[in-house]
Amino acid sequence: MDVSQYLDIFLDETKEHLQNLSDQIMRLENDSEDMDTINEIFRAAHSLKGMAGTMGYKRMQTLTHDMENVFSEVRSGKVKVQPEMIDVLFNCLDALDEYTQNIQNSADEGTNDNEALIARLNDLLKSGTADSVEDKKEEPKESTAEKSAPEKKKRSTKSDKKGSKAEEKSESAEAKWYDIHLDDSQIHVIEEAKKQGMHCYGINVVVQDTCLLKAARAFLVFKSVEEKGEIIVSNPSAQDVEDERFEKDFTLLVVSKESLEDVMKAAQNVSEIAAVTGEEIEIEKTKDYKPKETAPANTPAKPVAPATPQQQQTAKNTEKKNAGKPVVNRTVRVDIEKLDVLMNLVSELIIAKNSLVSATGQVQSGSGNGVTEHIEYLERVTTSLHESVMKVRMVPIESVVNKFPRMIRDLSKKLDKKMELYMSGEETELDRTVVDEIGDPLMHLLRNSADHGLESAEVRAQRGKNPVGSIFLDAYQDGNNVVIEVRDDGNGIDTEAVKNKAIERGVITSEQAALMTDKEIISLLFLPSFSTAKQVTDVSGRGVGLDVVKSKIESLSGEVEVKSQLGVGSTWTIRLPLTLAIIQTLMVAVGGEKYAISLGSIQSLESIPQEDVRFVQNKEVINLRGNVVPLIRMEKVLDVESKRKPGEELTAVIVKKGDKMAGLVIDELLGQLEIVIKPLGKYIKQCKFISGATILGDGEVALILDANALI
């Protein structure tokens, strides 16, 4: 058995624990007395240590061990939580994160010992504790090991006190090594060994309830016991144990020259082992008692562990854990490739459906009714199949945004501004691929708000604002889109400053600037290498932020918008499509060719009499309910001859991109269609306003127009 097979689980769980730790430490910072939080931190750190130890990541284990010591002292009330400690703990988390990254990249934790951090942790301990007498409390794992081995008798006296029930339990557990079925050869081996002066021990090992990698623990127990002697038989079998097919304990029969204590110690030295019990076995006893003892011992259902005090404690811990923590997300990890295959199948199904639809058009003249029914059914099936497949791909944005509170906290310290992050809608779901990409742009926007947006506490006080600045991150679903808003109650965007900067940089001339609206000026911010920060900080101000945000969002077929009021604050709105592969479109004809336009960008459809077309700066525009909307003649864009008759009313599809609108003049509307987006392939590049192709019901290929690129 090799631990590398657990690497994936290890990484996932480590990340979960780290996130949990970060959340809890944040909470601790605000409420340093909350025992539940401290316990939770302690547990997370302890599990982390155990996991790192199992996987053989010594440095990680050492660091978490020292962190755990600190938490332990905090828990017992010997050390008070101070701001300095929180900082150190966060630094530790960063260091652990680094280890995790290294492990993820190279399966090795790296060579950074983080001695400075460990030293600081120990300083915290020293300065905080008056006396460090009760060292053993620091680490329940080791205390378990030390206590339960030599004090086996003591333990049983303890359980005697617990009453007859506990006694029964421990008895049935202790009898376990007599329950194991031995075949003749095994009995023979034991007898031979005894003749040679070796001992045969029955050992029962109970794994902690909280243990995450039971099989790995068991494996380590097997390994260390085998160093002391030979395992004759185990119950459940070694294979079952390896496959984690056991409750929480397993029993071994060991032949060894060493003393019972040594053998048990070997097992106890493995971490996350709750208890080890054992005694020397009389082989006759197994044989004699087998027929009687197996039956009653096996009937009380599953093997019952001895009720040791440690166990009760862990049981209590689990109870608390269940009560204090929200229900853990049950996730199914699916290979993205498998999903893609599923997705393709659905695509084909939709194509099949579309071809049936077009077939009915031809049959309609005759007896088409039966076909229509089938199609309606097929349509229902494909729609729900599509939905469910899409849902599989959807993940909550939580995984991305939950690292932001920590980031804002750090920024707050670094920038010496007081601020608070309020988040809502973390459960909003988006396509996996989008969620993976959305983190960086959001981070940029938040940093931007913290650095440029929020004023310093003094300025805020002068302006009569709450000295603590607020940043809001709200996510919600809006039709086929997901909207993520980053809002702050800071200074807002100073358009004059932007204007001056733009002129200074030579982006625009002062004449141009005079003519520009505030909106246009704000849009200058999205240009590459444009930063208005008076000084460059390491938080922001390098001028690479906003244009990266914009291009990233646009690559996800989304859009960014800013609304800002000087002195009041700004709102950045990111709008993203729920999914990228299947979309609802309007089919239109231009010069005899069919094109699809995504419904998401369409505002309305208009019939425009020729005489309503006006000219502004030699360009065709229409007055649409008070808005001046430029017209784009699609036949010119697409290089085709329009089939429109001269003098005929124009049909225009009004499309919208942010606040901008345009009317695409087309020949004919063909209707709405759900289409599967197919890439054009690498060979066809650089056609800006074609975002892909799709296959229509009759097998014909139609191009998808990207209305955003046309405006």
Partner 1 sequence: MDVNSLKNLSQDPQKEERVKRQFIVVGLGNEHYGIDIRYIDNIVRMQRITRVPKMPNYLIGIINLRGEVLPVISLRLKMGLPADEYEKNTRIIILKTEFEGSLGVIVDEVKEVVTLESTQVDKVDDLKIEGKNFVTSVGKRDNGDLISILDLNTITLEENVVRE
Instruction: Give contact residues for partner 1 (rule: CB under 8 A).
Output: 347-348, 351, 593, 637-640, 678-688, 690, 693, 695, 699-703
Residue 448 annotated among the catalytic residues of the structure: yes
C-beta closer to partner 1: residue 285 or 594: 594
Please state, in angstroms and rounded to a whole number, the distance separating the CA atoms of residues 414 and 535. Answer: 15
| Catalytic-labelled residue, pool 448, 452, 455, 708 | 448
Pick from 620, 584, 588, 592: nearest CA to 605:
588
C-beta closer to partner 1: residue 334 or 709: 709
According to DSSP, the β-strands at 614-616 and 469-478 are: unpaired
C-beta closer to partner 1: residue 286 or 347: 347
Give the number of other CB atoms < 10 A from CB of residue 388: 11
**Token digits for 84?**
């300095």
Residue with tokens 């690497």: 7
The C-alpha angle 105, 272, 121, rounded to 5 degrees, equals: 65
**Token digits for 446?**
């938040």
Which amino acid, 44? A
Min dist. Cβ of residue 692 to partner 1 (A): 8
Q: Which residues contact 399 (CB under 8 A, 6 or more apart)?
A: 435
Q: Which long-range contacts (C-beta less than 8 Å, at least 24 apart) are formed by 560-565?
A: 560/441, 560/526, 561/658, 561/659, 562/493, 562/522, 562/523, 562/525, 564/492, 564/493, 564/522, 565/492
C-beta closer to partner 1: residue 233 or 351: 351
Cα separation values, 149 from 232, 509, 618, Å: 22, 84, 94
The answer to whether the bond into 236 is cis (omega within 30° of 0) is yes
Residue 199 annotated among the catalytic residues of the structure: no
Pick from 630, 701, 706: nearest CA to 665:
630
C-beta closer to partner 1: residue 211 or 675: 675
Min dist. Cβ of residue 701 to partner 1 (A): 4
Pick from 369, 370, 451: nearest CA to 414:
451
Indicate the length of the chain as a whole number.
711
Please state, in angstroms and rounded to a whole number, the distance separating the CA atoms of residues 544 and 440. Answer: 12
Asked whether the beta carbons of 419 and 404 are under 8 A apart, the reply is no
C-beta closer to partner 1: residue 135 or 700: 700
Q: In angstroms, how far is the first alpha carbon of the chain from the final one?
A: 61
Please state, in angstroms and rounded to a whole number, the distance separating the CA atoms of residues 510 and 419. Answer: 36
Min dist. Cβ of residue 587 to partner 1 (A): 13
Min dist. Cβ of residue 639 to partner 1 (A): 5
3-class SS of residue 697: coil
Cα separation values, 341 from 96, 314, 335, 394, Å: 37, 45, 10, 16
Please state, in angstroms and rounded to a whole number, the distance separating the CA atoms of residues 583 and 579. Answer: 8
Q: Which residues contact 467 (CB under 8 A, 6 or more apart)?
A: 418, 457, 460, 461
Min dist. Cβ of residue 243 to partner 1 (A): 42
C-beta closer to partner 1: residue 222 or 595: 595
Min dist. Cβ of residue 702 to partner 1 (A): 7
According to DSSP, the β-strands at 650-657 and 602-608 are: antiparallel
Min dist. Cβ of residue 656 to partner 1 (A): 23
3-class SS of residue 616: strand
Tell me the sheet residues that pair with 562.
572
**Token digits for 420?**
């608070």
- The one-character DSSP state at 183 is -
Min dist. Cβ of residue 436 to partner 1 (A): 25
C-beta closer to partner 1: residue 526 or 689: 689
Pick from 473, 472, 469, 518: nearest CA to 490:
469
| Catalytic-labelled residue, pool 20, 40, 65, 68 | 68
Please state, in angstroms and rounded to a whole number, the distance separating the CA atoms of residues 55 and 99. Answer: 13
Min dist. Cβ of residue 381 to partner 1 (A): 19
Residue with tokens 């009720």: 307
Min dist. Cβ of residue 685 to partner 1 (A): 6
Residue 620 annotated among the catalytic residues of the structure: no
C-beta closer to partner 1: residue 511 or 639: 639
Min dist. Cβ of residue 348 to partner 1 (A): 6
| Catalytic-labelled residue, pool 17, 46, 65, 452 | 46
C-beta closer to partner 1: residue 264 or 705: 705
C-beta closer to partner 1: residue 31 or 698: 698
Residues marked as catalytic: 46, 68, 448
